Amino acid sequence: MAPASSAPTSLTTVTPRALASPRVSASISAAGRTKSGALSLSTGPRRAPGICAASSQPRRRMVAAAAATEMAPAARGEGGGKPFVEEMRAVAMRLHTKDQAREGEKEPQAPPVNRWEPTAEGYLRFLVDSKLVFQTLEDIVDRAAVPWYAEFRNTGLERSEALKKDLEWFSEQGHTIPEPSAPGTTYASYLEELSEKDPQAFICHFYNVYFAHTAGGRMIGKKVAEKILNKKELEFYQWEGTLSQLLQNVRSKLNQVASNWSREEKNHCLEETEKSFAYSGDLLRQIFT
């Protein structure tokens, strides 16, 4: 773990021109670099979610996709069939641009993320809302209203405690920690509803939130740290143990659970991917506003 800086960190707050419009969508991958080495984002229309924040303005999608290095294809099953996690990954990769992944089908419509200037206020909103979302996921699997949710307890990927420490650090630097905002509360409510009524759709969100953070999320975190945190690495982007093994353990559990699903249930789970990206994108967009 990288040690925290002993001196107060200087934070700059510059609002990028790229976010002049009220909603910006992005597709970001762990391997998601343009040919010039920059992370790139793309915008596009978004389908209305089952639960949405009160707003009369159309919402756009920011897709925060996990990618190749951490979302590597899972090993073949004993019967030689394609593991379900590999199907989930394939759907996610198609939501990338062609510059980000050869499977990508989206056209880039925004400048690379490393040309944007994050703001301290926006980053704090993102961290606070992310804490709420990760805490909600953890609470759902702890309660295990659906018995097999218990398989996903204590995976080592949990992030709420790490985020609590990071927010305490920001407070020590003199920053006011905001209350959760609409992107976080709306997503948390949606996850609670899905977990009770639609387990397959919930698992789609569970997979994409955790795996995207370990991949494209880390890339974003590094860029933000370089620009406004004097390269400080937050606890949010650090894990105990070997991350690749933690991810593989979760892949195995996901494949095991999905092996009992019908083809229709699997397809339903896959169909939720774009909505998962939309909600995560609404959180991530706050960093740059």
Confidence of residue 102 (pLDDT cuts 50, 70, 90): low
Give the whole-angstrom CA distance, residue 163 versus residue 173.
Answer: 15
| Residue 284: Cβ within 10 Å count | 28
Can you tell me the mean pLDDT for 152-163?
98
Can you tell me the mean pLDDT for 234-242?
97
Can you tell me the mean pLDDT for 39-52?
39
> DSSP assignment, residue 64?
E
The whole-number pLDDT of residue 286 equals 92
Can you tell me the mean pLDDT for 96-106?
61
The whole-number pLDDT of residue 22 equals 35
- Specify whether the CB–CB gap between 73 and 86 falls below 8 A: yes
Q: Is the pLDDT of residue 151 over 90?
A: yes
The pairing of beta strand 27-28 with beta strand 63-64: parallel
Give the whole-angstrom CA distance, residue 29 versus residue 23.
Answer: 20
Confidence of residue 95 (pLDDT cuts 50, 70, 90): confident
More confident residue, 6 or 87: 87
More confident residue, 285 or 41: 285
How many alpha carbons fall within 13 Å on the CB side of residue 252?
Answer: 8
Q: Is 46 left (phi over 0), alpha (psi -120 to 50) or beta?
A: beta
Give the whole-angstrom CA distance, residue 205 versus residue 123.
Answer: 22
pTM: 0.74
What does residue 44 show for φ and ψ, rounded to 5 degrees? Answer: -175, 170
Confidence of residue 106 (pLDDT cuts 50, 70, 90): low
Can you tell me the mean pLDDT for 207-228?
94
Average pLDDT, the chain: 78
Instruction: State which H helix or E strand residue 28 sits in.
Output: strand 27-28
The whole-number pLDDT of residue 109 equals 52
Amino acid at 90: A
Amino acid at 179: E
Q: In the chain, pLDDT over 70 holds for what percent of residues?
A: 66
Nearest in space to 85 (alpha carbons), one of 104, 61, 62, 66: 66
Confidence of residue 99 (pLDDT cuts 50, 70, 90): low
- Which residues is 64 bridged to in the sheet? 28
Tell me the pLDDT tens digit for each residue of 187-211. 999 999 999 999 999 999 999 999 9
Task: Pick the most confident of 20-29, 65-74, 263-272.
Answer: 263-272
Q: Is the pLDDT of residue 115 over 80?
A: no
- Specify whether the CB–CB gap between 274 and 47 falls below 8 A: yes
Give the whole-angstrom CA distance, residue 56 versus residue 66.
Answer: 30
Range 239-242 contact pairs with CB under 8 angstroms and sequence separation of 24 or more: 239/156, 239/157, 239/214, 240/156, 241/156
The whole-number pLDDT of residue 281 equals 87
Nearest in space to 264 (alpha carbons), one of 203, 200, 194: 200
The whole-number pLDDT of residue 263 equals 97
